[in-house]
Amino acid sequence: MLTTIECAGHPRDMGLAQGAASKAAIREEAARLGLSMNRSRRPSLRSLAIGAVRGVGAGREMFRHFAHLAERLEGIAKEADLPVDTVLAIHLSVRAGGAQAGVLSRRSTLRARSTASSVDVKHWCLERSLPQTSATESGWIVRDSRPAVGFRSVEVTLPWLVSSVAGLNEGGLAVVAGPLLWGSPGRDGNPTSLLLVQECLQRFPDLEGALDWCSKRPVEGEQSLLLADASGALATVVVSGRERRIQLGEGELHLEGGEPPETPSGAVSAGAGEGRIWIDPCAGRLHLHMNGVDLDVELPRTKEAASEEG
């Protein structure tokens, strides 16, 4: 079964919708990681000022520099009836990559292939494999994000995740993230580079603004992002620690990396049950195949984005 949810409105409203739709899966993830399940009924700013999660390090930087995603996170925590610090701790734990990042670090392939071309313009289709989750992990979901301010987008994500691993927006921008390879354990430093996916989808219709944003935001990790837009532009953002390297694409790309699937009882073997997503930003089309189910989404471009390209 493939779960689809819709989140609309201001950032906190979108988080509330996601938390309500995915409450059971979010609480299961928190319990799996051994995090606090008891939400305080007394509002307090103490955690923001001196708290061990929001008051220091990567948690503090996320709330400082990614305000919209932080508000989404607060909404998710409220509807899931979990402490904000618990949902934030899940997001911070994936920075280390490897086993701590679970399915977000598992081996996957990314590809950019040309679907059509003319003398001056190439059109690109971005692909990503989606490793099957184990019996104890949250499964992939499809989310339709309709922010009050910014671009609507359709993404593949996890029930507790404010960002996404792949998506397409109505401006004609597609972003696909590779696996989180490795990073810094603990809570010091900057938040995960995975946040850049949702930031770009909400804010930008093309590569120019997205690449500038990706090069300047305070994130860290070991990860590659593929970006393409409806004009035929293509680029790879390579995140290494806190450094960013941007490579403008002219030919087809094929990237593969990540941890091999675990093999204990309840886990999956290499390649078993793997899903795949295809995104064509020129056609405004996203196709997902998972668990024997095929989903096609067409996302008409906004008149503003279409007129700018023309």
pLDDT above 50: residue 232: yes
Query: 150-159, 162-171, 239-248: which has the minimum mean pLDDT?
Result: 239-248
Sheet with 234-241, strands from edge to edge, namely 3-9, 141-147, 153-157, 166-169, 173-177, 221-229, 234-241, 243-248
42 pLDDT tier (thresholds 50, 70, 90): low
Residue 36's pLDDT is 92
Residue 19's pLDDT is 98
Helices (H) and strands (E) in the chain, counts: 10, 14
pLDDT above 50: residue 262: yes
Residue 307's pLDDT is 53
More confident residue, 268 or 233: 233
- The CATH code of the domain at 1-254+273-310 is 3.60.60
Q: What is the mean pLDDT of residues 52-77?
A: 90
pLDDT above 90: residue 295: yes
45 pLDDT tier (thresholds 50, 70, 90): low
Q: Where are the alpha helices (DSSP H) in the chain?
A: 11-21, 23-32, 46-50, 57-65, 67-80, 84-93, 98-101, 195-203, 207-216, 303-309
Mean pLDDT of the chain, nearest integer:
87
The residues, ordered by sequence, that sit 6+ positions from 273 with a Cβ below 8 Å of its Cβ are 132, 291
pTM of this structure: 0.89
**pLDDT by residue (tens digit) across 18-38?**
999 999 999 999 999 999 998
**pLDDT by residue (tens digit) across 157-170?**
999 999 999 999 99
72 vs 179: CA distance, rounded Å: 23
268 pLDDT tier (thresholds 50, 70, 90): very low
63 vs 85: CA distance, rounded Å: 12
Asked if residues 3 and 20 have their Cβ atoms less than 8 Å apart, the reply is: no
Here the tokens at position 191 are 């938040």
56 pLDDT tier (thresholds 50, 70, 90): confident
CA-closest candidate to residue 30, choices 69, 105, 78, 87: 87
234 vs 296: CA distance, rounded Å: 23
Q: Where are the domains of the chain?
A: 1-254+273-310
pLDDT above 70: residue 125: yes
pLDDT above 60: residue 47: no
Query: 8-17, 64-73, 156-165, 291-300: which has the minimum mean pLDDT?
Result: 291-300
Asked if residues 153 and 307 have their Cβ atoms less than 8 Å apart, the reply is: no
